[in-house]
Amino acid sequence: MREKKEDRRISRTRKLMHEALMALIVERGYEKITVQDILDRADVGRSTFYAHYRDKDELLLSSFDHLRILFEQQQQALLESRRTGEAVDINFILDFFRHTGKYHRLYKAMAGKQSGEMILKYQHRYLVNLLAGPLADLVRKRKSLSVPIEITVHYLVSSLLSLVKWWLDNDMPYPPEQMDRIFRTLTAPGLEVALGSEPEPGEHCRAQDFYRLFIDRACCPGS
């Protein structure tokens, strides 16, 4: 019982620091924030902070990991609803636009700055790692591909993140649903070329399969 109380206390302390950092970024911009600012806003001691994080950069990445976990939990709930027969559409690409749009003030506060570059690299690495193995499995029966799979994955992820950044930088001029359609319109021809010739009978390896896997793997990484 004591361990559970300790776990709850640790989670609560980290949550306070996460929330303090996110609020301060919107107010001041990441570069101007000091560890002391975070301590004052979260009302925690310096020793407590360093017991959890090396510096504010580690807290920043941890905070975005926290947001990612919340996002994945939301997607998992939707996926579970679909498995139980409820009419629920799962669309990771669309929900990714919705998710970043929800936190647009936070992203824009870091845009074009060192912190923004750090988060962009973090998101890129996460999505590439999420997709690289499953996409390789999807095309493993093909004798040859026009483009190596690792380049195809990099292209898909980079295109998505670049389009999301443009969307936020331009104050989200189109709704998430339209951005989802734009992304697919722009990337589908390139994916079709990357996949090369028509699949052999019984194989499923076209652009729509990439998108389907992109959606399902993001919703349920452990599947």
Of 2-6, 24-28, 194-198, where does the model show the most confidence? 24-28
Report field, pTM of the whole predicted structure over 0.75:
no
Q: Which 8-state DSSP code applies to residue 32?
A: G
pLDDT the model gives residue 95: 78
3-state DSSP call for residue 30? helix
List the domain boundaries for the chain.
91-219
> What is the percent of the chain with per-residue pLDDT over 70, rounded to a whole number?
66
Q: Which residues, 6+ apart, have CB-to-CB distance to 116 below 8 Å? A: 107, 110
88 CA to centre of own chain? 21
Q: Long-range contacts for 168-173 (Cβ within 8 Å, ≥24 apart)?
A: 168/100, 168/101, 168/104, 168/107, 168/108, 168/111, 169/108, 169/111, 172/101, 172/104
- Could you tell me the pLDDT band of residue 107, with boundaries at 50, 70 and 90? confident
pLDDT at 48 over 90: yes
- Could you tell me the pLDDT band of residue 110, with boundaries at 50, 70 and 90? confident
First to last CA, the chain: 32
pLDDT at 157 over 70: yes
pLDDT at 221 over 60: no
pLDDT the model gives residue 182: 94
27 vs 73: which has the higher pLDDT: 27
pLDDT at 112 over 70: no
pLDDT at 160 over 50: yes
pLDDT the model gives residue 13: 94
pLDDT the model gives residue 86: 60
1-15, 142-156, 207-221: the lowest-pLDDT one: 207-221
pLDDT the model gives residue 223: 44
- Could you tell me the pLDDT band of residue 163, with boundaries at 50, 70 and 90? very high
